Amino acid sequence: MDNNLYITKEQKVDLEKELKELSSTKRQEIIEALEFAKSLGDLSENAEYHQAREAQGKNEARIKEIEYILKTAIVSSGSKTGVIKVGSHVVVQKKGTKEQKEYKMVGPEEADMASGKLSYKSPLGAALFEHKKGDEVTFSTPGGQSTYTIIDVK
């Protein structure tokens, strides 16, 4: 697997919304909290001030992280060639079972197994990435090797 960062179109929109919120509303709230805390006097023992500074640091770090992701990530909406990419919907079947599971391949920030969103960086996601319908993939788990057959790619 290459070292590129991939995100879905939906994740790009969500990140842009989050960036706007953090850069405007949240940043302003923190500035106001800092101003209030400064008005309380002695900054060395001012818990409100230190808490606001910590919030400011976390907010600015998240802004930088989102800006980096939006600048460097490749936006993917799946594959028209049947090869599994970020944005693809894939149906798999674990070897030795009849149960089939469907996942949407997503970037790490968007992953949510309960919603069927599988990160392409997870063990199963990495094994499936860039394979196609009919392929069999094997990967390591804490319980040993697992093998899945790709039933469908949409």
Q: What is the CATH number of domain 78-153?
A: 3.10.50.30
Task: Quote the CA–CA distance of 25 and 42 in Å, as a whole number.
Answer: 27
pLDDT tens-digit map of 119-142: 999 999 999 999 999 999 999 999
3-26: per-residue pLDDT in tens? 889 999 999 999 999 999 999 999
Q: Which CATH class is domain 6-75?
A: mainly alpha
Q: What angle do CA 75, 139, 94 make, to 5 degrees?
A: 95
User: Which one is predicted more confidently, 81 or 53?
Assistant: 53
Per-domain residue ranges of the chain = 6-75, 78-153
pLDDT, tens digit, for every residue of 20-78? 999 999 999 999 999 998 888 887 888 899 999 999 999 999 999 999 999 999 998 87
Q: 78: alpha, beta or left, given left = phi > 0 and alpha = psi -120 to 50?
A: left
